[in-house]
């Protein structure tokens, strides 16, 4: 016996894009999450280095490590929210972090960004790459649903 049922062919259309959340909605959730993690880790780092003999020596490496962790976490959250293009969502989150860092450097509050142009470019590029990596990891990570 022949099976005369027609098979559905999966095609790429705008239905999948319409069902996925817009990038703006993803940024509304991922940027505050990234900033909350950044503030929490910065407070922990400041508490740790304040008890040391020379806190100025560790201020810059701790600030970079905290910013790197926050960039990765922000990318992870944005990739989790926008499964279809986690890399683009992570890049958008990283771009927001870079803009925040550049605005802080204009105010003079962040001494790390007062360095030479090569150091600043490497720092900003690493923030973008870590955020993109977090977005890719968030999009690839599968959630486990438990049956009840």
Do the domain assignments include residue 68? yes
Task: Please state the domain count of the chain.
Answer: 1
Q: Do 135 and 81 touch, CB atoms closer than 8 A?
A: no
Do the domain assignments include residue 9? no
| Number of residues that this document lists for the chain | 148
**Full domain range(s) for residue 100:** 22-48+57-140
Do the domain assignments include residue 13? no
| Residue position matching structure tokens 């790197």 | 68
User: Which range (9-18, 67-76, 90-99) has the least confidence?
Assistant: 9-18
Do the domain assignments include residue 12? no
pLDDT of residue 141: 67
Whether the predicted pLDDT of 145 surpasses 60:
yes
Q: Do 42 and 68 touch, CB atoms closer than 8 A?
A: no
> Please, what's the b/e burial string for 9-29 (b: 16 or more CB within 10 A of its CB; e: otherwise)?
eeeeeeeeeeebeebeebbeb
Do the domain assignments include residue 135? yes
């Amino acid at each position: 016996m022949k099976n005369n049922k027609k098979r559905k062919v999966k095609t790429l259309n705008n239905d999948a894009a319409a069902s996925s959340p817009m990038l703006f909605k993803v940024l509304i959730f991922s940027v505050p999450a990234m900033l909350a993690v950044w503030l929490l880790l910065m407070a922990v780092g400041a508490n740790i280095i304040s008890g040391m003999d020379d806190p100025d020596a560790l201020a810059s490496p701790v600030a970079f490590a905290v910013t790197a962790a926050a960039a990765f976490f922000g990318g992870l959250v944005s990739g989790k929210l926008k499964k279809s293009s986690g890399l683009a969502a992570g890049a958008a989150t990283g771009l927001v972090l870079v803009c925040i860092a550049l605005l802080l450097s204009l105010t003079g509050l962040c001494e790390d960004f007062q360095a030479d142009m090569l150091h600043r470019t490497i720092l900003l590029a690493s923030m973008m790459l870590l955020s993109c990596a977090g977005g890719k990891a968030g999009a690839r990570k599968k959630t486990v649903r438990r049956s009840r």
